[in-house]
């Protein structure tokens, strides 16, 4: 089955993500996020997609982490989803913007309490002397918030990648893969097939 060209690649992505949720054994929302420093030095890591809609693709992080620092300094990124069970891949490129405080607060409130505590305890991407140091910080913030609600830390929020390009890739026999690339312009989305 080949990639079906549609007028709305976001809707097509949502269909593929729903199918991946049925077939992938772990984390169908996992994606590779690639960022770069202002001088162009790249870095990539796996993160989890938390929302997708017509505005773009949203994920959350510590703003002082390497990815947070790079995205604030150079707000352009790329994402790749690879669903091995379906033999499909989606590549997305675009500009990145921060989510507003209300949206970040709403998502943070849905996280498990230990994940909320972890957001306070972790100095993500910074040197750690040993596991005990992290465990002490977790114990400190667990005691600090005791039984009350855990507020969102100021240095923890979300980013939304606003796509300018989305490519759907489907594995085909003899490596004659099917690829459809969407470009967002002033008048909306256009698409074209690519050679494998």
Catalytic residues: 175
Whether the CB-CB separation of 103 and 152 falls below 8 Å is answered with: no
Q: Which residue has the tokens 């490519």?
A: 167
Whether the CB-CB separation of 162 and 59 falls below 8 Å is answered with: no
Angle at 131 between CA 130 and CA 136, to 5 degrees: 105
CA-to-CA separations, 21 to 17, 53, 104, in angstroms, rounded: 6, 17, 24
The number of helices, as runs of H, and strands, as runs of E, in the chain is: 5, 9
CA-to-CA separations, 172 to 89, 164, 196, in angstroms, rounded: 12, 26, 9
CA-to-CA separations, 51 to 14, 139, 175, in angstroms, rounded: 10, 31, 32
Compute the distance between CA of residue 1 and CA of residue 21 in angstroms, rounded to an integer. Answer: 19
């Amino acid at each position: 089955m080949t990639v079906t060209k549609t007028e709305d690649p976001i809707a097509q992505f949502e269909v593929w993500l729903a199918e991946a949720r049925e077939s992938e054994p772990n984390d169908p929302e996992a994606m590779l996020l690639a960022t770069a420093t202002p001088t162009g030095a790249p870095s990539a890591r796996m993160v989890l997609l938390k929302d997708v809609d017509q505005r773009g693709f949203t994920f959350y992080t510590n703003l002082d982490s390497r990815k947070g620092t790079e995205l604030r300094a150079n707000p352009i990124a790329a994402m790749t989803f690879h669903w091995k069970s379906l033999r499909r891949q989606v590549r997305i490129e675009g500009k990145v913007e921060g989510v507003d405080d209300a949206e970040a607060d709403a998502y943070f409130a849905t996280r498990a309490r230990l994940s909320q505590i972890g957001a306070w305890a972790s100095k993500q991407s910074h040197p750690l002397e040993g596991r005990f140091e992290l465990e002490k910080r977790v114990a400190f913030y667990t005691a600090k918030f005791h039984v009350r609600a855990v507020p969102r830390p100021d240095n923890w929020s979300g980013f939304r990648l606003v796509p300018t390009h989305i490519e759907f890739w489907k594995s085909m026999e003899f490596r004659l893969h099917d690829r459809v690339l969407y470009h967002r312009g002033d008048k909306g989305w256009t698409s074209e097939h690519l050679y494998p």
